[in-house]
Amino acid sequence: MSASTPTPEAATRALTDLVTTIDDCLGRLTHARDRAQELLKARADGVSWLDIVTTEDRPLVVESVSAVLSNLSRAGSTFRREQAHALQSEQVSINRIAALFGVTRQRISALLRERAAVSDLDAGEPALAD
């Protein structure tokens, strides 16, 4: 495979983005955990849930956790799509990719179609309807 092939670079960029997202999420989760500990202390001191929620600084613990899950899902999905495409570019069969990922071959086909649709949108081409 030549060094100028863009597909592995897309997978590498997606993995780099995933690592960056994980690092960001670790910081956000650490902060959310610290805030949750403060909330537990407030509850132990007899503060009502209403008082806790109405005085809690934004983002709320639950908002932070939701944002982390969303960000990890986005970055993980992007990497999974790009990695599947990179493997296919290396002539790995859809069945083999499915076995490596622990999913069905239909799921891999869907990932590759999603990747093509995203690539078309990024290139400014209209996505084709199924």
Q: Read off the pLDDT of residues 42-66 as tens digits, 9 standing for 90 and up.
A: 999 999 999 999 999 899 999 999 9
Supply the mean pLDDT for the chain. 89
Q: Read off the pLDDT of residues 4-13 as tens digits, 9 standing for 90 and up.
A: 454 459 999 9
DSSP symbols for 48-83: -HHHHHHHPPSSPHHHHHHHHHHHHHHHHHHHHHHH
* 3-state SS, residue 11: helix
Assign 126 a pLDDT band (cuts: 50, 70, 90).
Answer: low
Q: How far is residue 11 from each of residues 17, 18, 30, 124, measured CA to CA in Å?
A: 10, 10, 28, 20
